[in-house]
Amino acid sequence: MQATRSFQASLCLDNQNITLDIQKGQNLKDFTQHIVQSYHLPTHVSVSIYSSIQRAMTCSTTRKEGGLSHSKKELRHLFMDAYQSNTLQYNNKPEEDIFPRAYHTLVHCPIATIFDTLLELEQSYAIAIGELLASGEDEFMQKLEAGATEEEIQAFQLACQSDISHTQQTQRQEYREFVIELYREYQSRLTLLPDLKLQDDALALSKLDGKEIVDTAARRVRRFEPHMDSQHPANRKRTASLASSSLPKSDPIESAHIKSIQEMGFLKDQAETALLLSGGNMEAAIGLLLENPTKVDASIAEQRLSVKSSTSTPYRRSHSLSQVPRPNLMASPPSSVRNDRRHSLQRFSTTPTFLNITTSKSPASASVSSSANNKSWPISFLQQQKQNMENTNLSSMKKLGGWLGKAMENLGIDHDAHKQRDQPQLVESFSIKVGTTQITSSHNLRLLVIDEATEIFHPPYDPPREMAYRAETATKLYTSSLSAAIVLIDIEDWDGYKSGKKSNGALFARCQQSTEFHFADIESQITQIEQDFSLHPTRITEGTFFITKHSNLPRTQVVFHLFIDSTAVVDTDLSNRHPLMIGLRNISKMTTQFDISSISIPLLFLPDGFNEKHDSAWLQKRGEVVMKCIKGFLSENSRSGKRVQNEGLDRAESMGGGGMRNIEFLLPKKPDVYGPISTSTEPTSSKGVPQEVEVAFQQFRALLAYLFRTS
């Protein structure tokens, strides 16, 4: 046996001590024999000396290795402690943002009251921002008519923008705090039910009171707001009922009259003002509201003007959502579109925020009111109550039924209640299967003629439809069923694009009309993208794209902004290797990576301001290239093996995610884009649709059916 390391040992005999110096690699048996012979020791002692040397070598090796291991552990701990303390000085670990998880849990919980409350709160926030924008427009027009200087107008615009931004920040903070508190309260209630299975919706509904959960969370958030009310008493005063300031202290009879009129569908302001004008006579007040509503509105507007002139705080100086006053609805008449929107806002002027959400009897009912024919009064109520009151024996009720019939006649809704508006839209849907016999995937294709700006991003204002948009977005956020759209940006419009005054102005206008609660606002997102672009010296080229995320757009959560060179649209033919098609393929790949199941694609890839007419062959070529690009991607993606074979499972996967399933090809609605009509073409007539557009739609429909072999 050889020594594994060099060491020294001491051998103790009866009459002397011998120091042994053993070198690494030395044979221990030979060394023992050398000791016995050198010191004239008995031969039988060699066995004891050999074993003692072995033990000494083993103990020396173990002691040294243990010391090294101990020192290494100490050094490691010292290094980790020093590194951690130094890192924490400059990079504190942020707290986990539980808002996405909280929102997703609340939206999909079995308690309907919670979901309705969140939708109603978002709607009331949007209405408040809309009123601020409308009031700012009115003041802006008044300043123009008064001959304000350019500096004064610019200062006014900056002040309005600052106030709107401040209000949106306040709304975002309040909303997120309320959602988190609501989530915590909901989770705490669930922990009190140990035997409850979360899948048992009926049991959850019976054991959990949604209204009580909402009230508790609202009270917690409301604790932080009283100091704001005390700092701004003028604003708090203006949030009260404006008509009530002119009425004396009401007696029980008058309160009963007001409540009865409110049950008929009128607002409290309208009921109080009508009773004031009629001297407290309920029948006369109802007749005034039905036969001469403009007189009541004019009186309300006059009262609001007097309150506005008496307060020292300007309109835009509102510091919280609960203090946002209502604009003057009877000011100088705006455009018809704005007038319809303003009238809808008046109907929703009593929508509560979370600060007074506990006083709302039905969060969902306040927002889902009838808006048929853009009339200001609940038509369904008129139609329902007219027949009931005419069949009663009471003379007063018969008289009221006659008033209802007269009101319906004046509003023009007596004979067209069941008549549907003729709103022609060229659209057709197809179902296709892509792949081999072993692996196939199902997809839905949709070809439609639409104005992307006004019908996708910025449709006409309609409260029930707005609520439906918000409900759809709420159920899609943080899931694998996101919807996306592709918009085109002219390269020349990139400078100043985030101002919203160049390409895709409707997209920016829609985003600015409500608060973004889940992501950064669109201006902040594009500012960050500008900074990222500035870090790369390569200039922006055609086919480059970036992504913005949204929760306040109708039916769209992701927007792909694709750059296009408008100067080269006519001179360059669109081909499979064109930069735009490369960008489209890259966008299609991203849809499978980021859980996007639906996407809207401009079929012709023409910029917004393109109005040049071209022959149908040129347009057909562009549309064919886009369709083939999408078909190629779907075929390639189906061969990747990520699709299931069973059609039922495939259909279930398409409902809960699993890739791009729904594709919309958008044709522009402008007839200026399409060329002259061929005499051999015989389009089917559609009332209200230009013939050029209809012919193009039929041609692209046939092309789509041919390329995809649709069913």
Instruction: Quote the CA–CA distance of 275 and 697 in Å, as a whole number.
Output: 57
Instruction: Quote the CA–CA distance of 423 and 436 in Å, as a whole number.
Output: 41
Residues 6+ apart with CB under 8 A from 462: 344, 371
289 near 198, Cβ under 8 Å? no
- Number of neighbouring beta carbons within 10 Å of residue 498: 18
User: pTM of the predicted model, to two decimals?
Assistant: 0.64
Mapped onto helix, strand or coil, the DSSP state of residue 56 is: helix
Mapped onto helix, strand or coil, the DSSP state of residue 246 is: coil
For the record, the structure tokens of 661 come out as: 């399933």
Quick one: pLDDT at residue 191? 80
Instruction: Quote the CA–CA distance of 352 and 121 in Å, as a whole number.
Output: 7
Mapped onto helix, strand or coil, the DSSP state of residue 435 is: strand
Instruction: Quote the CA–CA distance of 115 and 363 in Å, as a whole number.
Output: 10
Instruction: Quote the CA–CA distance of 467 and 448 in Å, as a whole number.
Output: 24
- Number of neighbouring beta carbons within 10 Å of residue 296: 24
591 near 660, Cβ under 8 Å? yes
Q: What is the longest distance spanned by two Cα atoms in the chain?
A: 144
Q: Which amino acid is at 46?
A: S
Strands 7-12 and 17-22: antiparallel
411 near 377, Cβ under 8 Å? yes
The number of CA neighbours under 13 Å toward the Cβ of 62 is 6
- Number of neighbouring beta carbons within 10 Å of residue 372: 14
Instruction: Quote the CA–CA distance of 522 and 504 in Å, as a whole number.
Output: 12
Can you state the percent helix, strand and coil of the chain, rounding each to 5?
Answer: 55, 10, 35
Mapped onto helix, strand or coil, the DSSP state of residue 160 is: helix
Which residues make beta-bridge pairs with 549? 558
Strands 427-435 and 440-449: antiparallel
Phi/psi for 361 (5° steps) reads -75, -40
Given a cut of 50, the residues of the chain with pLDDT beneath it are 198, 227-250, 308-352, 358-382, 390-399, 411-422, 642-657, 679, 685
55 near 2, Cβ under 8 Å? no
- Tell me the per-residue pLDDT of 402-418, one tens digit each, with 9 for 90 and over: 555 555 555 444 444 44
Q: How far is CA 108 from CA 145, 198, 201, 298, 469, in A?
A: 51, 11, 11, 45, 16
Instruction: Quote the CA–CA distance of 106 and 213 in Å, as a whole number.
Output: 11
Q: At what angle do helices 616-638 and 579-593 cross, to 10 degrees?
A: 40
Q: Which of 525, 566, 705, 520 is nearest to 631 (CA)?
A: 705
Mapped onto helix, strand or coil, the DSSP state of residue 545 is: strand
User: Residues 573, 577, 580, 582: what is their CA dihedral angle, to the nearest 10 degrees?
Assistant: 170
Q: Which amino acid is at 501?
A: K
What residues does each domain of the chain span?
A: 7-90, 99-373, 374-419, 427-708
- Number of neighbouring beta carbons within 10 Å of residue 347: 20
Q: What is the CATH number of domain 427-708?
A: 3.40.220.10
Mapped onto helix, strand or coil, the DSSP state of residue 696 is: helix
Mapped onto helix, strand or coil, the DSSP state of residue 601 is: strand
SS (H, E, C) 75-142: HHHHHHHHHHHHHHHHCCCCCCCCHHHHHHHHHCCCCHHHHHHHHHHHHHHHHHHHHHHHHHHHHHHH
Please, which contacts does 37-42 make with residues 24 or more away whose CB atoms are closer than 8 Å? 39/13, 41/13
Phi/psi for 586 (5° steps) reads -65, -40
Quick one: pLDDT at residue 369? 38
Quick one: pLDDT at residue 278? 81
Instruction: Quote the CA–CA distance of 220 and 209 in Å, as a whole number.
Output: 17
258, burial (CB in 10 Å: exposed 0-12, middle 13-18, buried 19+)? buried
324, burial (CB in 10 Å: exposed 0-12, middle 13-18, buried 19+)? buried
Dihedral sign computed on CA atoms, order 142, 146, 147, 151: negative
- In residues, how long is the chain? 711
- Tell me the per-residue pLDDT of 646-704, one tens digit each, with 9 for 90 and over: 444 444 444 434 567 899 999 998 888 886 665 455 555 455 678 888 999 999 999 99
